[in-house]
Amino acid sequence: MINLQSSISAIENLLLEGSEASLTYAALECRLAIERICYERLRVAHDYISHDDLKRWQPRDIVNILIQEVDSKAASTFTLSVSTEPSPEGSSPPTVEEYEAMEFVPIGTHVGFNPSLLGKLWNALANLALHISVPESKDTPVDRYGDPEKIRAKVSETLDEIRRISAGTLLSSGFGEEVSFYCSCGAKNRRRLSLLKDGQTVSCINPQCDESYEYEEGSLSFGRRTFAIVCRKCGHQRDVPKKKVENLRTDQHVGFDCERCGDQILIQWRPMQAQRTNPK
Ligand SMILES: [Zn+2]
Ligand SMILES: [Zn+2]
């Protein structure tokens, strides 16, 4: 769990100082705190999603991707409790009545938030405090700082939200049935079954690995995504990870030696021309 208390105190002190410069810095501290809140949820979820599958980077987008792909409750508030008496190993799951009769102790509270509200605050702080407005006409002054009262109001609103979220005592990476597979690099990849979609591409969670897999709902399996490259000299086939080729720019290539004859094989994206003859 990240400790937001240092950010909260810094923002409070800057608000007290109240100069234009301190208010501007307070807005920056608020934005950094929002990013920490959102990215910490991502860090906790990283067993379940690869960095390469995120695609969008604003704090709000990161949290929305987590809700869709890792944990539908990533931004919800709930308290986790455990029963004071463990159920004996091998016993059948308790009935609803038995659950209700058990005694539970709370372990911690996962505090939720509205990702789009945090995203709006994050954008508004930048617009008010961290950028200078583009003058609309010759008569509009180009000031050194943004409007101090507007910045103070937005910083105070954000501070309330940061304080509320800082009351959380637990960060959960979610619940629900998992499916897992081992990548050819050895990394164990896990996903929440209920959030997987047929045909979805899942990148290996190992940041150094180029492998990605396509999920097939019918068989609950993950198929390796590859291009089959056949050596023109000896006919030996090698399966090259699709991601390795997809990430190439047009002027780059990947190369490897044929495992059977040793010839060097290069792969590169090339523009291709197609032409249809006009029947007239
Ligand atoms: Zn891997
Ligand atoms: Zn060969």
If you measure from the C-alpha of residue 207 to the centroid of ligand 1, how many angstroms do you get, rounded to a whole number? 8
If you measure from the C-alpha of residue 204 to the centroid of ligand 1, how many angstroms do you get, rounded to a whole number? 5
Tokens 């990013």 correspond to 35
If you measure from the C-alpha of residue 231 to the centroid of ligand 1, how many angstroms do you get, rounded to a whole number? 25
What's the pLDDT at 256?
93
Domain boundaries, the chain: 5-83+99-133+145-166, 178-224, 227-268
Q: Which ligand is nearest to the CA of 181?
A: 1
pTM tops 0.85: no
- 85: DSSP letter: S
If you measure from the C-alpha of residue 255 to the centroid of ligand 2, how many angstroms do you get, rounded to a whole number? 13
- 179: DSSP letter: E
Helices (H), the chain: 5-17, 20-45, 59-69, 96-101, 115-125, 148-166, 242-246
If you measure from the C-alpha of residue 116 to the centroid of ligand 1, how many angstroms do you get, rounded to a whole number? 33
If you measure from the C-alpha of residue 264 to the centroid of ligand 2, how many angstroms do you get, rounded to a whole number? 8
Joined tokens for residue 140: 């509009």
What's the pLDDT at 172?
85
What's the pLDDT at 73?
87
Joined tokens for residue 41: 């949820």
3-state secondary structure (DSSP) of residue 54: coil
- 141: DSSP letter: -
Measured CA to CA in angstroms, residue 255 lies from 81, 226, 241, 251, 261 at distances of 54, 15, 12, 13, 15
The stretches in the chain having pLDDT less than 50 are none
Q: Are 193 and 176 in contact (CB under 8 A)?
A: yes
What's the pLDDT at 151?
98
- 94: DSSP letter: P
In single-letter form, the type of residue at position 89 comes to E
In single-letter form, the type of residue at position 254 comes to V
